[in-house]
A and B are shown apart, each in its own frame.
Chain A
């Protein structure tokens, strides 16, 4: 690692650790930001690097959310009675039970969606291009509709996740706990994605994106790598969903968990805004998007969805390459691209 990078990463980690103390009023927003960055980065692995634009990663996110909460409740109390009482405090988690449940729940929330992605991957990833996009959109929405009809997880009434234990008196503790949880997840995701960016796996994903038939002809077992790529996305989406569920404290089938209209589109949009197929693009995109979104929600309440829709149209039409793509075109040297002047002139003449 170069010295410049080292300074950058140390600075960012210190900033991340200090953030909840610097901006104590924005802890929830900072937590959501971490989750959004994770979602954007893992969507980018699949959508940007592999070229499989999925609207359906919300499926794993929602699944993780329900699984984490169900495990957290179901480990100690009967789940059906808990949801039936609709959040009335008939049962109460002790401090150890809460954290044990949360830890185990997050594990399940990450592992089960990964397995499901592996199981359905062979069928779904055989579709290409827009068929894949529409199919995954259908999967995400179907999951929401079906979850809204299942009694044991609260059906349309919703599912209240266990409240933070009362024994901890510090009023800041809940915010800090969820912030650091999501921050650790963010660091873990970043290290993992960075490792992938330096590996052969990323090159294979790029080959699949650029021309799947040729990649297959070169002897790459594309299906295997596509499934693994999707499983990686599913793992982190599930984890992020589990944390989000605990943070929000209430799970609704279509408005919180399988929220294809919001979170499902956000993760695509954040990656595109920052620049698909770059390491830092989704991070920058998610941060910028979060600021924009909160701005809309604060200053033009009521019109926020209109603004959001217009934002989607503008980003997609005018900045399909995103911020990083724009910078890359402007300052190619910074990105380590060497442009052959002769070649460039020849290209211009051809045009």
Chain B
């Protein structure tokens, strides 16, 4: 095979490193999705659009002359309230319903978000320059932008903070209790309505962090949200709900898959290959389960 990547093995190192750093970012979004899926039993198609909105907050700061790196603190705070508001407006009406209802309703939200972002920030592809420079490895044959290292580090930091928060704090315990059995938690005095709102807010805040990181490492565009949703969905179905190490590992795996697909198939098939991978994973699991006469639930 005469692909460039097999002729120059150093590119494999490049692709793997890129993929791992990218995958940690995906894992952060996926963790938010797993959280809301586990607690509220909804699938949020607007997840990727929340990410992009978070990115635009960092981009707005960049336009205002503030270093976009600070977006990782400001963006989640704003996004928490966006998530809270979204819950009060729409999501609270789909929590106890069929999952298909939540898929369609959040699809509607996604369309509204995309269009509003298109109005406010324009349809151009934008990027917030972080000017962190690059690190060269292996005699300058592997380049690693420092912003990617920064983004992976921040993602891990937020993940660790979240895990500790979920373990130790009162709200964290309430969220975990609600995820186990909402009715029992309610009987024992947990205000589940508040827990749901907080969960959705935390999810949106995680999206905000991820978005701010994407703004400095990659590019933003109002209509690129859906691939992020699908990536996080994929990570969640591979890793399961609430298994953080598995989420991180499958995130990295997905990142590496994407980078290799990018090199081998070409950039125009990158998004397509992500969606095809989703189909393959689902079909693979379906056949594996059907041997035991079970199905994905």
Q: Mark A residues whose CB is within 8 Å of B.
A: 53, 123-124, 126-131, 133-135, 137-139, 141-142, 144-146, 148-149, 155-156, 261, 265, 268-269, 272, 302-303, 305-306, 308-313, 316-317, 320
Contact = CB atoms under 8 A, between A and B. Distances in A.
22 contacts: A123-B283, A123-B286, A123-B287, A127-B283, A127-B295, A129-B100, A131-B282, A134-B230, A134-B282, A138-B276, A138-B279, A139-B275, A141-B226, A141-B275, A149-B268, A265-B104, A311-B108, A312-B108, A313-B105, A313-B109, A316-B94, A317-B94
Given A124-B283, A138-B279, A305 B268 contact: no
A138 B104 contact: no
B269 A149 contact: yes
Nearest to B265: A149
Given A131-B286, A309-B113, A312-B111, 10 more contacts: A126-B295, A129-B100, A135-B278, A138-B275, A145-B271, A272-B104, A303-B115, A313-B90, A313-B112, A317-B105
A156 B268 CA distance: 9
Given A145-B269, A145-B271, A134 B100 contact: no
Would you call the interface of chain A mostly helix, strand, loop, or mixed? helix
A234 to B, nearest CB: 16
Nearest first, the 3 closest Cβ-Cβ pairs linking A and B are: A312-B108, A145-B272, A309-B112
A306 B116 contact: yes
A145 B268 CA distance: 8
B282 A127 contact: yes
Interface of B: 43, 90, 93-94, 97, 99-101, 103-105, 107-116, 119, 226, 230, 233, 237, 266, 268-269, 271-272, 275-276, 278-279, 282-283, 286-287, 290, 295-297
B108 A127 contact: no
A129 B272 CA distance: 23
B108 A309 contact: yes
Contact of A305 (B112, B237, B290, B295): B112
Contact of A312 (B105, B268, B269, B295): B105
B282 A135 contact: yes
B112 to A, nearest CB: 4
B93 A133 contact: no
A126 B112 contact: no
A131 B282 CA distance: 8
B93 A317 contact: yes
A75 to B, nearest CB: 29
A146 B269 contact: yes
A144 B112 CA distance: 22
Contacts of A130: 43, 99-100, 103
B224 to A, nearest CB: 12
B100 A128 contact: no
Contact of B111 (A127, A268, A305): A305
Q: Which of B100, B113, B287, B297 has the most C-beta atoms of chain A within 10 angstroms of its own C-beta?
A: B100
B108 A310 contact: yes
B279 A139 contact: yes
Contacts of B94: 316-317
A313 B108 contact: yes
A134 B278 contact: yes
A221 B116 CA distance: 48
Q: Which of A129, A155, A268, A316 has the most C-beta atoms of chain B within 10 angstroms of its own C-beta?
A: A316
Nearest to A145: B272
B229 to A, nearest CB: 9
Nearest to B46: A309
Given A317-B90, A317-B101, A309 B279 contact: no
B233 A145 contact: no
B104 A316 contact: yes
Given A141-B226, A142-B276, A133 B108 contact: no
B105 A138 contact: no
A265 B105 CA distance: 11
Contacts of B286: 123, 126-127, 131
A208 to B, nearest CB: 13
B209 to A, nearest CB: 24
Q: Which of B94, B119, B268 has the most C-beta atoms of chain A within 10 angstroms of its own C-beta?
A: B268
Contacts of A127: 282-283, 286, 295-296
A53 B109 CA distance: 19
A156 B267 CA distance: 13
A139 B296 CA distance: 18
Nearest to A130: B99
Q: Which of B94, B111, B266, B278 has the most C-beta atoms of chain A within 10 angstroms of its own C-beta?
A: B111
Contacts of A308: 108, 111
Contacts of A316: 94, 101, 104-105, 108
B132 to A, nearest CB: 31
A195 to B, nearest CB: 28
Contacts of B116: 306
Nearest to A313: B108
A287 B287 CA distance: 40
B278 to A, nearest CB: 4
B273 to A, nearest CB: 8
Nearest to B89: A313
Given A310-B108, A317-B101, A149 B266 contact: yes
Contacts of B109: 309, 313
A130 B43 CA distance: 9
Nearest to B114: A305
A314 to B, nearest CB: 8
B103 A126 contact: no
A123 B269 CA distance: 23
A128 B296 contact: yes
